[in-house]
Amino acid sequence: MNQLDLEKIVKSVVSDMKSDKNKKCVLDTSKMNLALARKVIEAVEHRAAEIGVNAVVAVSDAGGNPVAIECMDDSYLASYDVALQKSYTVVALKMSTIALKKLSQPGGSLYGIQFTNNGKIVIFGGGEPLAVGDKIIGGLGVSGGSEEQDTSLAEYGRNFFRELTLKEAN
């Protein structure tokens, strides 16, 4: 390979890279993936910082398996497991953890459910399913603040995800 051939190859690669920058980046919203999870986590962490909560934010896939989890500086150690289990709970039961709280109270139709699934079910606010249309593709769990703060942050993340996936569909 001579110098001229090498220069042509380099120019071709640089040209391809420039044209890739001008292409619209489209997120795959058919299933939960790392790119989607990171966007949701970033949005929730930004909102958490605004309200003064050092949160742990977890996103799982449709099978309840972790895709990404991040701990904000100075978050509670215990919040890691709680956020992770909230992200599992919402896909396992196809409902938010705040909705589950009402059903799992004494006399409720799901009373005692927190003792199933090897203790992975969380029955207080801070977890939201992430859906594209009617299909749940993942779960979001937030822990670190009060129940009201965690619930608000999870709802914020769910709404951000909904807007993001609607924008990508258009």
Domain boundaries in the chain?
28-169
Task: Assess whether pLDDT exceeds 60 at residue 155.
Answer: yes
Q: What is the dihedral of CA 147, 45, 53, 96, to 10 degrees?
A: 0
Percent of the residues in the chain that have a pLDDT greater than 90, as a whole number: 79
Nearest to 76 by CA among 146, 17, 26: 146
pLDDT at residue 23, as a whole number: 46
Distance set, CA 124 to CA 18, 47, 107, 129 (Å): 49, 20, 17, 14
Q: Which superfamily does 28-169 belong to?
A: Haem-degrading domain (3.30.450.150)
Mean pLDDT, rounded, for 58-64: 98
Higher pLDDT, 6 or 146: 146
Question: Residue type at 45?
Answer: E
